Structure 1
Amino acid sequence: MTEIMSVNESKPELEVIRKASDILQNNGTVVFPTETVYGLGANGLSSTAVQKIFDAKMRPNDNPLILHVHSLEQVNQIGIAPKEFYQLAEKFWPGPLTMIIPKNDAIPHEVSRGLETVAVRMPDHSIALSVIREANLPIAAPSANISGRPSPTSFEHVNSDLNGRVDMIIDGGETGVGLESTVIDLSTKPFTILRPGGITFEDLESVLTKELLQTTAKIKSQDQTPKSPGLKYRHYAPKGELFLVDGEGERLLEKIKELVEKYSNQNYRVGVLVTDELKSYLTDNLSDLNHIYMYDLGPIDNLNQVAKNLYNGLREMDNNSVEIIFCRTFPKIGMGTALMNRLKKAARDRIL
């Protein structure tokens, strides 16, 4: 049975934090909010505890986990950090940046999945930090959803996926960033961005300059263990079929309108993840909105807001039984790079 507790983010209740830390210290599982998405936490130094994460999420067994810490001192317990690690940590921690470093012998196989590296980050969320600090353990915590589904940005998402599969869920309201952390590999040079996120290439370049290589690593074979979550398997996917629509200006608006009409005329339940101007255009130009569901991600000139709303939009498509989903592409600048990374994986690279 899953225990559900609500916590005030501005002043987390100590009684709940202590109960959560006690569960973690006894190799149980606790879901808690971070600034990115909700995480499913377990003792990152216990093989038994970490395996419960894989079981609850139905996560592929070769997908490594990120360890969450509350201090730089904790990092010394789990890995060997180069000087660039501390330079990045000084500027971006706590925050949505995960760094991969050589691991030490304390890290169980279930965390690293046989790799010689470990991923670590310090979340920028009072509830998450309070739980990790009270437990006094590095906490393994992937997104708190069934693997492959859109990541959870609210208690309702977590409750839908994991109630009955974990020991505790902490309801801390909605998350802030809405996309998972940026992952950078510091174990080899030049350094490589493995997953884009809230800390952008431009942000990282301001610290690392020429030592940073802007690439997103790809898995060369299905037998290869990925260094980071989000590389090997289909992620973030709704139940309906998602297609991305490329284009600019008036032609993009017309293209999406034509696609919506084509499939709604075939009696498909059609959904569109819209930005503000697209919502206005479709509302004004579609003759029949009865078979169409629109979810407004926000204004095109505020990609941070679009990112924050993306996973909720994908889940709302499922809640409204949408069969075919269309979403425009976004410029690969700043947060747009992370947005397109998530959307392409959810759409299986289908761009019209």
Structure 2
Amino acid sequence: MRQNNTYLDRDDVSKALETLQAGGIILYPTDTIWGIGCDATNPEAVEKVFALKGRDQAKSMILLLHNDNQLAGYVNDIPDVAYQLIEVTDRPLTIIYSLAKNLPANVMAADGTVGIRVVDHPFCQQLLQRFRKPIISTSANLSGQPSPRNFLDISPEITEGADYVVQFGQQDTEEREPSMIIKLDPSGKFEFIRK
């Protein structure tokens, strides 16, 4: 599989997978900007991500899933409109859901909400399918610094702090944007947080 002249190497996916399974941190490309990731169900791994970014733990992080069938495992009440929004959007979309479940406290916001994106990206798809659990995705920058537009924008502190740096996508110089964010009420009402 090729994207932007970059070959998707199974060994690259396997090393990222082993790092996640061992409770480590990966630096990886997504359907938006480069992210710092870990096993979203492992609170100790999530702590490492907060520490690497220097991020306030009151700020929750996004989770990535590879398909919308997995949502029910992590959200108590999913309005039908969520599936419609995921299907019709032509941009990467993160939805903030109420009543998260089966996740560590340090992954959810103080009000029990969680941001989840069903990701459409060749590397993420393969990794998530093999991992079978959600992965944290937070921008690959120190807290307060600008988000990286491509791999070359990532600071050495971040690349050196990751346990594994994914090879796929490093040569892609396209400038990418963060996802659109919608907050979704259990009633089906939603509001744009970031367009």
SS of alignment partner, residue 124 of structure 2: helix
Separation of aligned partners in 1, 2:69 and 2:85: 15
Structure 2 partner of 1:180: 178
Letter in 2 for 1:87: Q
The 5 Å alignment of 1:266-277 reads none
Letter in 2 for 1:181: S
The 5 Å alignment of 1:1-352 reads 9=3, 11-79=7-75, 80-92=77-89, 95-171=91-167, 172=169, 173-174=171-172, 178-187=176-185, 190-196=189-195
- 1 or 2 for the larger relative contact order (CA 8 Å, sep ≥6)? 2
SS of alignment partner, residue 28 of structure 1: coil
Instruction: Give the drift of 1:99.
Output: 0.6
SS of alignment partner, residue 48 of structure 1: helix
Letter in 2 for 1:192: E
Counting matched residue pairs gives 189
Q: What does the per-residue CA deviation read over 1:95-124, in whole Å, with 9 as the maximum and x for residues that have no partner?
A: 510011123431111111322211100222
Instruction: Give the drift of 1:86.
Output: 0.6
Separation of aligned partners in 1, 2:64 and 2:32: 13
Letter in 2 for 1:195: R
Change (3 A) 1:177 1:119: farther
Letter in 1 for 2:192: I
> Aligned-residue CA RMSD in angstroms?
2.1
Separation of aligned partners in 2, 1:84 and 1:98: 14
Separation of aligned partners in 2, 1:32 and 1:49: 16
Structure 2 partner of 1:291: none
Separation of aligned partners in 1, 2:165 and 2:20: 12
More helix by share: 1
SS of alignment partner, residue 52 of structure 1: helix
- Contact 2:31–2:92 under 8 Å retained in 1: yes
SS of alignment partner, residue 164 of structure 1: helix
Letter in 1 for 2:8: P
Q: Which residues of structure 2 form unaligned runs of 5+?
A: none
Change (3 A) 1:128 1:100: same
Letter in 1 for 2:101: D
- Contact 1:30–1:168 under 8 Å retained in 2: yes
User: TM-score scaled to structure 1, two decimals?
Assistant: 0.50
Separation of aligned partners in 1, 2:8 and 2:84: 30
- Contact 2:16–2:127 under 8 Å retained in 1: yes
Instruction: Give the drift of 1:181.
Output: 0.5
- Contact 1:38–1:143 under 8 Å retained in 2: yes
SS of alignment partner, residue 163 of structure 1: helix
Q: Which residues of structure 1 form unaligned runs of 5+?
A: 1-6, 197-352
SS of alignment partner, residue 108 of structure 1: coil
